[in-house]
Structure 1
Amino acid sequence: MKLGTVKATVAMADKIGYIQAKSWQAAYKGIVPAEYLATFTSEKRADIFRKVMPARSEEFYLFSTHDQPSGMAILGKARDEDLPDTTGEISAIYFLPDAWGTGCSVPAIWFCLTRLRELGYAQVILWVLKDNPRARRFYEKAGFHFDGAIKEINIGKPLIELRYSFTFPS
């Protein structure tokens, strides 16, 4: 699967918002309350991205398959205070449901890891919902492991997130 990758600009906020909203609505169905997911719209997400992209230090990426936008990622320095400055984070990586199972997420995760390594990070973390076994299996196949850190978030109801870590070989 050939995956196109571009560093996203604010002009791409509509595409990124659409991808994130549609992927959340599909991936978290049955995990996150339907009432909450119904409020997680493309328009609202795009508005948020238009505001935060210029103000944040993270890098935003748009992935495409068959010349059509199909995925997005946000990466940068890890936000967790208990981690050293040599830790990066994939704070978001999502694909439209039509792209699931096509193999495009594998080059996307490797792109993110490669980019974070280029930025000088020795380790990478991400947070995944405990109740999302599909995503957990994907990250484990990519070399991530649960590092023991847990946090509770509230997205329509309290949910548990697990921190997964990846360490680059020396």
Structure 2
Amino acid sequence: MPDDARRVRAAEPTDAPAIGLAHVRSWQAAYRGRVPQDYLDALDADRRGEGWRRYLEAGPPGGEALLVVDVDDRVVGFANVGPSRDDDAAGGGELRAIYLLPERWGLGDGRALLAAATRALHAHGFGHATLWVLDGNERARRFYEAAGWAPDGATKEDLSFGFPVAEVRYRRPLP
């Protein structure tokens, strides 16, 4: 895709509905068979978008950023970065979320968004960064590994969704 058709930029409150849609549709495609189907079916793009709108209107806290990738002026994905939330990764940054509309997977939008998110973490002064990925999400794991991320040995079982989700932590130094 020509570079002028794809753009990564800071998110604005008006992007929130598209962010919510990308968030929900990506979850529904990527996590099918990995999390309970009734949970995926109940995801609400409008509600998710409203949460992102409030986040953007309040202004991301220090060290955080919400980026979007748009193609032909249509938001197709987003990434959220900020300080690490892990005690053992203090002083580092964290890629907290990165999601694309499923029909945009494999077209370069994710690579552009991940590169911009990594630059944003570095610009906030972080020397390294982490992210958490579902243990069985091989597609995402290959994506991160191709961009220089590697498992660091940390694992956790996230119960915040009401069911257990096994996750693996990835880490990378920032340039």
Cα distance in 1 for residues equivalent to 2:141 and 2:171: 12
User: What does residue 152 of structure 2 align with?
Assistant: 147
What percent of counterpart residues are identical? 38
Cα distance in 2 for residues equivalent to 1:157 and 1:142: 30
Structure 1 residue runs without a partner (length 5+): none
Partner of residue 74 from structure 1, selected from 62, 72, 80: 80
Matches within 5 A, 1:4-153: 4-53=7-56, 54=58, 56-57=60-61, 58-85=64-91, 87-153=92-158
| Post-superposition offset of 1:56 | 4.2
Residues 11, 66 of structure 1: alpha-carbon distance in 2 compared, 3 angstrom cutoff: closer
Local SS of the residue matching 1:79: coil
Equivalences, count: 168
Local SS of the residue matching 1:82: helix
Cα distance in 2 for residues equivalent to 1:56 and 1:68: 22
Cα distance in 2 for residues equivalent to 1:159 and 1:112: 24
Q: Which runs of 4+ in 1 moved over 4 A?
A: none
TM-score (norm 1): 0.92
Contact preservation (8 Å) 2:15, 2:75: no
Over the aligned positions, Cα root-mean-square deviation in angstroms equals 1.5
Contact preservation (8 Å) 2:67, 2:117: no
TM-score (norm 2): 0.89
Structure 2 residue runs without a partner (length 5+): none
Cα distance in 1 for residues equivalent to 2:45 and 2:174: 35
For residues 101-146 of structure 1, what are the alpha-carbon distances to aligned partners after superposition, in whole Å with 9 as ceiling and x for unaligned? 1122112111111111111111011100001010011101111011
